[in-house]
Amino acid sequence: MAKWLLRSVFLLVVLVLLGSSIAIYFVFSPARLTPMVEKTAAEYLNAQIRFGGIELTFFSTFPDVGVRITNATVVSGVFQDTAVVSVPEARDSLMNIRSCLLTVNPVAYLTKNRIVIKDFVLEEPEIYAYVDTAGVANRKQARSKYGAKRPKKAGAGK
Does residue 115 contact residue 131 with C-beta atoms inside 8 Å?
no
pLDDT band at 151 (very low <50, low <70, confident <90, very high): very low
Q: Let me know the angle formed at the C-alpha of 141 by 70 and 126, rounded to the nearest 5 degrees.
A: 40
Average pLDDT over residues 95-118: 92
Return the sign of the alpha-carbon dihedral for residues 17, 20, 26, 29. Answer: negative
The residue among 140 and 105 whose pLDDT is bigger is: 105
> Is residue 6 predicted with pLDDT exceeding 90?
no
Amino acid in position 65: V
Average pLDDT over residues 101-129: 91
The residue among 35 and 62 whose pLDDT is bigger is: 35
Beta strands in the chain (DSSP E): 47-50, 53-57, 65-76, 93-104, 117-127
| Span 27-56, pLDDT tens digits | 778 888 899 999 998 888 888 889 999 998
pLDDT band at 70 (very low <50, low <70, confident <90, very high): very high
Q: Spell out the domain ranges in the chain.
A: 33-127
Please give the Cα distance from 58 to 51 (Å, whole number): 20
Average pLDDT, the chain: 78
Which has the minimum average pLDDT: 10-14, 71-75, 87-91? 87-91
pLDDT at residue 60, rounded to an integer: 85
